[in-house]
């Protein structure tokens, strides 16, 4: 029979506004965190990463913030564009290149309104 899927958290923003997508992680041993963007029917696309010895890292139009105290990660997208509409996943890993695999969060559906 058909399985019932979970409903992804959703975030709708006006074009040009800033977006903030949040993620909570559970493993205090995780040392490396990555944000991925996944468009419909495609594989995940790397956006930005951060190691646990940092609390902020900036890329082009994106910023990742890490709060290890509360095990919280956020992705900020500046001047959100229609092409930013996608599902965004955070992922954690014990340390870069670890044999331990990436563990993905549940994802957030970002919709950019015209």
| Interface residue with another protein, options 7, 53, 69, 70 (CB under 8 A) | 7
| Interface residue with another protein, options 92, 107, 110, 112 (CB under 8 A) | 107
| Interface residue with another protein, options 11, 13, 22, 49 (CB under 8 A) | 49
- Number of alpha carbons in the 13 Å side-chain half-sphere of residue 7: 3
| Interface residue with another protein, options 53, 69, 83, 97 (CB under 8 A) | 97
Instruction: Render 20-48 in DSSP notation, one character per residue.
Output: EEEEE---TT--EEEEEEE-TTS--EEEE
Question: How many angstroms separate the Cα of 47 from the Cα of each of 6, 65, 101?
Answer: 24, 13, 18
Binding site for another protein (CB under 8 A): 3, 5-8, 32, 34, 36, 41-46, 49, 89, 96-97, 99, 101-107
């Amino acid at each position: 029979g058909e399985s019932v899927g979970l409903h992804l958290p959703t975030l709708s923003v006006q074009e040009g506004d800033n977006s903030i997508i949040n993620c909570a992680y559970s493993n205090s041993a995780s040392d490396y965190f990555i944000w991925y963007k996944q468009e419909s029917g495609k594989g995940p696309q790397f956006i930005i990463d951060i190691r646990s010895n940092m609390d902020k890292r900036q890329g082009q139009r994106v910023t990742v913030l890490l709060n290890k105290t509360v095990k919280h990660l956020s992705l900020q997208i500046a001047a959100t564009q229609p092409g930013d509409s996608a599902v965004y996943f955070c992922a954690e890993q014990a340390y870069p290149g670890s044999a331990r695999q990436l563990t993905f969060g549940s994802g957030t559906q970002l919709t950019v309104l015209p």
